A and B are shown apart, each in its own frame.
Chain A
Amino acid sequence: MAGIFSIFRRIYLTIYNWTVFIGWLQVFYLSVKTLKESGHEHVYAAVEKPLLWAQSAAVLEILHGLIGLVRSPVSATLPQISSRLYVLWGILWSFPEIRTHFLVSSLVISWSITEIIRYSFFGLKEAFGSAPSWLLWLRYSTFLIMYPTGISSEVGLIYNALPFMKESSKYSIRMPNKWNFSFDYYYLALGILGVYVPGTPHLYGYMLGQRKKALAKAKSE
C-alpha cells in the first residue's frame, strides 16, 4: 500500500515542481525582456499573469507540509509564503499606482531567480532522486544576494504604497458600525514593516546556518 502512495507522491510532486518552475521561468524571461525593451514601468503588466499564478500556487506547499507530503515544517514555509502573497496581492495587485515603480523589476527578478533554482532543485530530486551538486550550491548561495535585493524591494514597495493606502482607505473598516470593530490596513502595513526589522536578520541567519549544513553534508558525500 505504502509503495503505491510513494509513487503517486513522487509523480505529483515532480509535476507540481516543474509546472511552477515553468511559471517562474516565464516571469524571469518576460521581466528581463520588458525591462530591456520598454523600461521598468511596464514590467508588472508583462509578468502579471505567470507571476500571480506561480506565486499563488505556493499555497499548496503549506498543504503539502500539513499533510506530511513533504518534510518542510509549516512553521518555516508559512511566514515565507505569507509575506510573498502579502506583497504580491496586498500591495502590487491592490495598488496599481505602485506597479510602475522600478523596485518591481528588482523584486520579480530576485524572486524568479530564487524560485527557478529552488523548483528545479526539487523537481530533479523528486524525479531522479537527487540533484546535481552545482544546483545545490546555487540553491544555498544565491540567497546571499537575492535575499537583500528581494527584501529591500519588498520593504521599498510596501513603504511607497503607504500614501495610497491612507488616501484610499482600501480594506479598512471604520467605526461606527454595529459590530464595534475597526481595522486599518495602513497601520497593518506599518506593523509588517516593523516585523521586517528583526525578521530579516533572523531569516538570513537561518539560511546561513542551512547553507553551512547543506554544503558540509554535500562535501562529505
Chain B
Amino acid sequence: MKVVVTTRSGRELVKGGLELSDSATVADLQEAIHKRTKKYCPSRQRLTLPLPPGSKEKPTVLHYKKSLKEYTDGNVDTLTVVFKDLGPQVKYSTLFFWEYLGPLILFPIFYYYPVYRFFGYEGKRVIYPVQTYALYYWCFHYFKRIMETFFVHRFSHATSPLSNVFRNCAYYWSFGAFVAYYVNHPLYTPVNDLQMKIGFGFGLLCQIANFYCHILLRNLRGPDSGGGYQIPRGFLFNIVTCANYTTEIYQWLGFNIATQTVAGYIFMVVAASIMTNWALAKHRRLKKLFDGKEGRPRYPRRWVILPPFL
C-alpha cells in the first residue's frame, strides 16, 4: 500500500509517499520514514491519523506494534498519516541512570569532603553514628534504584524527550544536595537512638517491600513488552493501585524520622505530590480500561496511593 506522510501544516514530509507491503506494521513505516529522512529516528516520530479540520477530538496515535491495515478503512490502498517530531529522545533507562547518579555521588561528597569550609564553617567536624547510617541508607537507596533500572524494570517501548534529562537531573541533583547539606552539617543535631533505629528500620522494611512491588510489576509484563496494561495483583497491590509509590514514600518517611531535617521532609512531600499525580493518572487509566464491559474484568475498588487518605 502507499503511505502519504504529511506534517501537521499539511506539507508532504516524504515526497511521493512510501510504498509498503500490505502486511507492514507501523514500526516498518517508521523505519521507512527514518531511511528517507535520516534525521528522524523512529522514537522521535509521532504518527497520527488525520483529523478533519476544526475537529475537537484527540487524534488516533499509531502504535508501533500494530499492522498498518488496522488504520486503513478496509478497502483503501492509500494511508495518510500526520507526522510530529518529538525531538531527540533518550531511553528511560538512560534518563533514570543520570537522575540517580547525582544523589548517589553528591551525598558522599558532603559526608567525606570538607565542603562546609566554603560555607564558612572551620574546624573539626564531629560525625554522629546516625549521619554515617544515613550515608549508607541513602546510597543503598539510589544504588538499588540504578540496579532496578537495568535489571528489574520492564520499560514500555516509550522513550523520553532529551530535555527531560536536564529537567529531571536538576530536580534530583538539587534536592540531593539540599538534603545532603543538612544531614552532614557540622552543626547537625541527632535524634535519640530509639527514634533513629525505628526510622531506619521502618525505612528499610519499606525499601524491601518496594523492591518486591517492582518484581510483581515486572512479572505483569511479558518479556516482549507491548506496553499493554494489566490489573496489578498480589501483596499490597490488592489494596492500593500504586503500592510501589506508597512504599517509596514511606521509606523516605523512615529516613526522615531517623535523620530529622526539614530539608528531608520537604523533599519527601514534593516527591509524594509528584507520585500522587502519576498515581491518579494510572488509577484513572486502569479504571477506564477495565470497565467491566465486553468481557473485560472490572477494576476493583482500591486506594490510589496513600491509604487512608487517597
Contacts and interface: CB of A to CB of B under 8 A. Distances in A.
Is B a genuine binding partner of A? yes
A181 B188 CA distance: 9
B187 interface: yes
A134 B280 CA distance: 50
Contacts of A217: none
Contacts of B262: 179-181
Interface stretch (A40-48, A170-178, A207-215): A170-178
B261 A176 contact: no
B261 A175 contact: no
| Chain B interface helix/strand/loop/mixed | loop
Interface in B174-229: 182-183, 185, 187-189
B261 A179 contact: yes
A179 B185 CA distance: 12
A177 B191 CA distance: 11
B263 A178 contact: no
A175 B187 contact: yes
Contacts of A179: 260-262
Interface string A172-209: 00011111111000000000000000000000000000
Contacts of A182: 182
A175 B185 contact: yes
Nearest to A183: B262
Contacts, number: 28
A157 B259 CA distance: 39
A212 to B, nearest CB: 25
Interface string B235-263: 00000000000000000000000011111
A181 B189 contact: no
B187 A181 contact: no
A68 to B, nearest CB: 22
Nearest to B119: A182
Contacts of A175: 185, 187-189
A176 B260 contact: no
B189 A177 contact: yes
A58 to B, nearest CB: 27
Contacts of B189: 175-178, 180
A174 to B, nearest CB: 8
A182 B262 CA distance: 9
A176 B188 CA distance: 6
Contacts of B188: 175-176, 180
Nearest to A179: B262
Most buried by A among B183, B188, B261, B262: B262
Nearest to A180: B261
A180 B263 CA distance: 8
Contacts of A177: 189
A183 B120 CA distance: 15
A128 to B, nearest CB: 36
Contacts of A178: 189, 260
7 contacts: A176-B187, A176-B188, A178-B260, A179-B260, A180-B183, A180-B260, A181-B261
Interface of A: 175-182
Given A175-B185, A175-B189, A181-B182, 15 more contacts: A175-B187, A175-B188, A176-B189, A177-B189, A179-B261, A179-B262, A180-B182, A180-B185, A180-B259, A180-B260, A180-B261, A180-B263, A181-B261, A181-B263, A182-B182
Interface of B: 182-183, 185, 187-189, 259-263
- A-B complex: 8 closest residue pairs judged by Cβ atoms: A181-B262, A175-B187, A180-B261, A176-B187, A176-B189, A180-B182, A179-B262, A178-B189
